[in-house]
Amino acid sequence: MILTPIPRAELNAALDRFAARLTEPGARDALALIRATSPDRAAGAAAARDRLAALDFARRHGIAVHPVGADCAHNWDGAALDGATEAYVILHEVAHYLLAPPERRALPDFGLGPGPDTRDRAGAERVAALPVVERESDEAAASLLGILWEAELGQPALASFLDQNWLEGLERSAAAHFAAVVQRAENLWSK
């Protein structure tokens, strides 16, 4: 959910202002990659193709995936991903998996508490293993990694960038936050 929607006619100017505040080459490269994609979610056959590509990406990274139709109370239940969700959610969960130490990989929702799609919210909260501030840091890194992988796969990364509120605080701290998260995530992002 976008906190402060940006009218489509103003999007390029907002992205230009954001880009002008980025001084690190890695952050500028990341934004350019994201910006080259669509701000609109894929639908129909394109969404199905993107989902299959995201599932393949997850499997290539050694991540188990529940078959479509499995009853999944979490996007990640400690053993496998929910295979029936959207491409951008799958890539976000792959990012969480790669960011998490082995002991958190065995926990539902990676020990971060419930996510937006978690159906067993109480169970996810019971196994939360990090304080809220560290959860937020992990969420930011997983968000950005998933978005960068969407862009690399030719999927609508700009749609996720906007949905996940990376332009919130555009005139204040958004660019600095983005640059810091890019720096944290660079070792997992293959530019």
Give the pLDDT of residue 29. 96
Give the pLDDT of residue 191. 41
Quick: pLDDT tens for 18-43.
999 999 999 999 999 999 999 999 99
Q: What's the rounded Cα separation, in Å, for the pair 133 and 34?
A: 26
Q: DSSP letter for 37, please.
A: S
Q: Hunting for tokens 């193709």 — which residue is that?
A: 49
Tokens encoding 41: 């979610």
Q: What's the rounded Cα separation, in Å, for the pair 18 and 179?
A: 11
Give the pLDDT of residue 114. 87
Quick: pLDDT tens for 9-23.
999 999 999 999 999
As a whole number of Å, the end-to-end CA separation of the chain is 27
Q: DSSP letter for 65, please.
A: B
| Residues whose CB is less than 8 angstroms from the CB of residue 189 and which lie 6 or more positions away in sequence, other chains included | 30, 145, 148, 149, 182
Q: Which residues of the chain carry a pLDDT beneath 70? A: 1, 190-191
Tokens encoding 11: 């999007």
Give the pLDDT of residue 123. 86
Q: What's the rounded Cα separation, in Å, for the pair 8 and 14?
A: 10
